Structure 1
């Protein structure tokens, strides 16, 4: 026998005057959340009431209806209507749509209030994104949408940006196949094809972190903070047709420039223009290069210029600043700590005086006609011009010309026979960075076998060590003296060659033929240059007699310091290619050189980490096979971390390894001190392992601010505005 289906009777709806409505004490909502009542009132005034109130008749003690109605569900909407009534924008007698529950119903008022708040389902974020797109496509501006939903315009831009990701990826997100943070990362590059390529590459990988997605989508781009971009200017790059990728969801340092070739062309053009402007100064040559190697002025003679004299106004300003500085120093002399405002004022005074002191140098016009200048970029992206270098072939020679009158006249000529009086034509050479990154190791050569480091990379690494040793020996007189004695003893007891002087000791300034582009900006390079400049300023180099007198009058400490500095320029710890046919260094000679370099490193306490060397993509990681990259990460961070990288491609692995190794103190074996090798070996494998966790197994977390920023109602629903 078929059971009869019970028919459902819904509560009737009717319009009830506002003045007949009161709040119910049965409403379960006690905590304020979501859109404020005032904002909800404005929304109702704009679009009307989208959802009626749930009400019940109020009865007296005898159970008789009083004509009033209480509201167990919809209290916030009632409060918003009350705001409009108070503002006289809504009449007290205005009819309010209501669903009227029978006063004798078995369903409690608290039950209705709880159900209304719990049974509703918030929109999926993807539906929010698409709804915002629909509103914009129908003519609403981003500002209007933001005003309608009481959020900032930036929030609207972010949601619209998320909706612009490739439809296939939106579908994956809609099915919970990726996290919101991953979807946010894909917005950095609008190219749907590239987005899909990246997702295909990482979807089956352990590492699906947002930072990796962003890096893969911008790997062919240049950061706006790059010194080349700073030099050209982002505005000039965009005016030339360049495009920029931006990230709306996190700081991006100005974004990424998508056309590196255009950027390099603009840099070369601007440097060329700067060089052409300098030609008016009369230099014989100007060399233009984005990167200048350490020792770019090797074998050249530097001119000694004089600062441009201060004007009367500048002199008066400098005197005033100096007087104020000294007065403040005297006033606060003896205090352990200066007040913040006084400390800031002293810093401002120092900056102002340094600006006045940093005046252009004036050179002898006759020497300018022989010399040249270098035009390049400094590490901060500012123009750097190094003036006053004379090449050996351009040095003037004294030529005696006996005229018909028997009188000798002397003319200065360069080695090419040209007269040095007057201005020569300027030859501007524009070069690009000559460093070939990764040229030693093709991508497909990695077979998992730990092979020796490439020859050129060894030379570059040992160039770093050689310069660091020079700096260390230069500040270690006792070590320099021992090293000098070692050279003397070796020469005395192991050789029998004749000598043309009473002593055959000499220092030959070795040019580092193989070096990475950043060597000239390293801390040790600056320390060597500063020490050299300080001595050069004191030494009377133009007169041997005066120099002899100067040296004899130096105290013993200064003599040893000068000895150490001079000897340091003879340091050669370079790994060079062995020539089996006799020219160059032999295998045994190279072994002895490197062993002796270890002795000196130990004696000076050399620490290549403290000297500033770090394993970067360009300087090391992109120059070695993947197995060495993994070995470095394993040494520094442990096996677990290394396993997280072993599935990556070479370039991606190198970039991620640079981030992991930064600050770790890891060094390749060629830069380690021999006396610490055992210690390094004992530390292998002690890095903290990283748990292998699938990123799609991570529990859901709260939505970020751009999704939860004061959406209508506490659950962020698009339908909760009433």
Structure 2
């Protein structure tokens, strides 16, 4: 093709100008330069389809009126830059002839402005449908379409997904009945019937997040513990479909078939349960949720001394571990070989350390384990449960034993005290029968004196009082033996599952269970050995055990049939002393709060947690939409309902009374005495709160 560069410009003709003879016109109306993406798109279009629209040019003229041989691009600067990009990529030469329209009659600035103003862009819905047609009719993949239009494959996939939305909804979008954000929310699936059903059920509140929620109401988020446990690959391999949201962060999408997901999770848990049963357990059960109502007694592993060989090997491994890790703060900093060796050493250390505790052979032979899913999708194995019919076999020791004492039924009547005889005779008649035990009345008398002496002595020994209290609580909390201790302290552990659905599967419940199991694994199997175990603890660990036992008895439930204002007042004081922040473990959602209160309460929550304006903005919504909108606005605000708030610490506290002054304090009369129940707990938590 020959260059057509005229020495005397004649307007209104088509000419061909070498690319390197074209310049940007100083009178181009566009001052903001074209973006890189736009130039990329133009370059791709020209590469595959040629120059669809020619450039409008005028000759460059010197001050003396002579032409320079160059041409100024009046309209088409973007196309000029796109062709220069093609030369940079070695797709064309700099001398490539470019088809141009020579215009010397019109004002170049007006032409440039006209080109950018006097045009109507294609409606996005038409664009989406045309992209879909290219994919269906020509069979082009997203990568090929993207290459022809200079956009990424991900952008093409988005446009294809939008083009696959129900034609009915696309028409509503064309008529401005839907926004682009709303249309993208419908495009989360390609099920036209589902899209139209959700659209028909929408009310005046058409927030995109509400549409997405309704579109995926029957699906399982990828963050669900079942999905995490099974994994996307296994689910898809089994025939499941994962819905992907191409327009927002979906964190892995949504698993469409909840039934299939449950089946896969249960099968995988059963496989693990089979491996656990191979340890020798009589039975194992696999459940997605932990069966809280199993009603079985649980046994825990007991401490076992390592063999001399294992102790020596553990010492050697510990030294090797320290030598390998010296100078490194993480595995990432280590050479690959060192990191692999260190990991192998750590695994062997863990394997030997695991031998320090083991279940009794009787418990394994007659007991079992539950294999369940943890809240984060990891496997939770709970061993040591014994069914009622196997309890005697697993723990042959009777719970109640009478030490060295037998009773002859025929002598029971003779041993009962005769009140009439005691009134006549001040001294019991001496019984000549050798070996006969003393009477119950005398035993009761003597034990009363001993009990009083124990009370006084224990009151003077706070250290032993701590041991005795810890022993009594531990025996009942961990062993269910109320008769194991001599203190008449009865801890009541109230299950919370019946008061709040799903509370046992929360991270907070997992933390409480882990703390309990950590203690249970250290304790002796026989409650008779518990006293020695507690005495052997240092002060810090003993206090920690007492705190754990005491914590399991906390009851701050507010029940309509159980009015206990002073108990709840003390619970508030305890929360203040502990600086309890429920915002770390609880958030207001439709299920947890907003969907279960009145509209007035919802608006009050938004006003307090966000602003009055935010509350007014949702005030005209129906309750379901209002609750959902409130959940979005309150997310991350830290707002809590009054029941969950921790009262502020009291500023003023009464001065403590010295111990030696107690005897000299004048006691108030009964009429003047304060309500001790109302004051209960104030002194206990005053120091902690301060």
- Common fold: TM-score over 0.5: yes
2:585 aligned with 1:612: yes
2:322 aligned with 1:325: yes
2:371 aligned with 1:381: no
- SS at the partner of 1:271? helix
Matches within 5 A, 1:91-110: 97-101=99-103, 105=105, 107-110=106-109
CA distance in 1, matches of 2:146, 2:180: 21
CA distance in 2, matches of 1:347, 1:640: 56
Give 1:150 deviation, angstroms.
1.7
CA distance in 2, matches of 1:156, 1:501: 74
Aligned residue number for residue 186 of structure 1:
186
Is the alpha carbon distance of 1:27 and 1:287 closer, same or farther for their aligned partners in structure 2, counting shifts above 3 Å? same
Asked whether the equivalents of residues 576 and 649 of structure 2 are also in contact (C-alpha less than 8 Å), the reply is no
CA distance in 1, matches of 2:546, 2:202: 59
> RCO greater where, 1 or 2, for CA within 8 Å and sep 6 or more?
1
Give 1:115 deviation, angstroms.
3.1
CA distance in 1, matches of 2:635, 2:323: 43
CA distance in 2, matches of 1:224, 1:164: 24
Aligned residue number for residue 542 of structure 1:
526
CA distance in 2, matches of 1:50, 1:412: 93
Which of the numbers 210, 214, 217 marks the counterpart of 1:216?
Answer: 214
Aligned residue number for residue 366 of structure 2:
370
Which of the numbers 32, 48, 51 marks the counterpart of 1:49?
Answer: 51
> Please, what TM-score do these two structures have when normalized by structure 1?
0.62
Asked whether the equivalents of residues 576 and 647 of structure 2 are also in contact (C-alpha less than 8 Å), the reply is no
Larger Rg: 2
Matches within 5 A, 1:149-188: 149-188=149-188
Which of the numbers 253, 256, 263 marks the counterpart of 2:254?
Answer: 256
Aligned residue number for residue 491 of structure 2:
507
Which of the numbers 222, 225, 233 marks the counterpart of 2:223?
Answer: 225
Asked whether the equivalents of residues 21 and 71 of structure 1 are also in contact (C-alpha less than 8 Å), the reply is no
Give 1:235 deviation, angstroms.
2.9
Deviates more, 1:120-129 or 1:615-624: 615-624
Is the alpha carbon distance of 1:210 and 1:669 closer, same or farther for their aligned partners in structure 2, counting shifts above 3 Å? same
Asked whether the equivalents of residues 223 and 252 of structure 2 are also in contact (C-alpha less than 8 Å), the reply is yes
CA distance in 2, matches of 1:630, 1:283: 55
Deviation digits for residues 303-347 of structure 1 (CA, Å, limit 9, x no counterpart):
4386999999x9979945653436766x79xxxx99994899999
Gaps of 5+ in 1: 1-9, 399-410, 416-476, 485-498, 579-586, 678-722
CA distance in 1, matches of 2:490, 2:496: 18
Deviation digits for residues 609-645 of structure 1 (CA, Å, limit 9, x no counterpart):
1673444454445555666555544543355434555
Asked whether the equivalents of residues 22 and 73 of structure 2 are also in contact (C-alpha less than 8 Å), the reply is yes
Aligned residue number for residue 636 of structure 1:
609
Which structure carries more helix by proportion?
2
CA distance in 1, matches of 2:210, 2:344: 45
- SS at the partner of 1:385? strand
Aligned residue number for residue 241 of structure 2:
243
Aligned residue number for residue 582 of structure 1:
none
Asked whether the equivalents of residues 556 and 568 of structure 2 are also in contact (C-alpha less than 8 Å), the reply is no
Deviation digits for residues 218-237 of structure 1 (CA, Å, limit 9, x no counterpart):
22221012111122222333
CA distance in 2, matches of 1:668, 1:159: 44
Asked whether the equivalents of residues 129 and 162 of structure 1 are also in contact (C-alpha less than 8 Å), the reply is yes
Give 1:525 deviation, angstroms.
4.4
Give 1:286 deviation, angstroms.
2.6
Matches within 5 A, 1:1-150: 12-16=12-16, 18=18, 23=23, 25=25, 27-28=27-28, 32-34=33-35, 43-44=45-46, 46-56=48-58, 71-74=73-76, 77=79, 97-101=99-103, 105=105, 107-139=106-138, 141=140, 142-150=142-150
CA distance in 1, matches of 2:318, 2:499: 44
Asked whether the equivalents of residues 85 and 92 of structure 1 are also in contact (C-alpha less than 8 Å), the reply is no
> Please, what TM-score do these two structures have when normalized by structure 2?
0.64
Asked whether the equivalents of residues 44 and 149 of structure 2 are also in contact (C-alpha less than 8 Å), the reply is no
Gaps of 5+ in 2: 1-9, 400-461, 470-482, 651-690
Asked whether the equivalents of residues 224 and 257 of structure 1 are also in contact (C-alpha less than 8 Å), the reply is yes
CA distance in 1, matches of 2:153, 2:322: 49
- SS at the partner of 1:131? helix
Deviation digits for residues 127-176 of structure 1 (CA, Å, limit 9, x no counterpart):
33233233334415132221112221111111121222233332333344
CA distance in 1, matches of 2:157, 2:146: 9
CA distance in 2, matches of 1:658, 1:262: 30
Asked whether the equivalents of residues 369 and 382 of structure 2 are also in contact (C-alpha less than 8 Å), the reply is yes
RMSD: 5.3
Aligned residue number for residue 693 of structure 1:
none
Asked whether the equivalents of residues 303 and 390 of structure 1 are also in contact (C-alpha less than 8 Å), the reply is no
Is the alpha carbon distance of 1:354 and 1:630 closer, same or farther for their aligned partners in structure 2, counting shifts above 3 Å? farther
Q: Matched residue pairs, number? A: 558
Asked whether the equivalents of residues 165 and 190 of structure 1 are also in contact (C-alpha less than 8 Å), the reply is yes
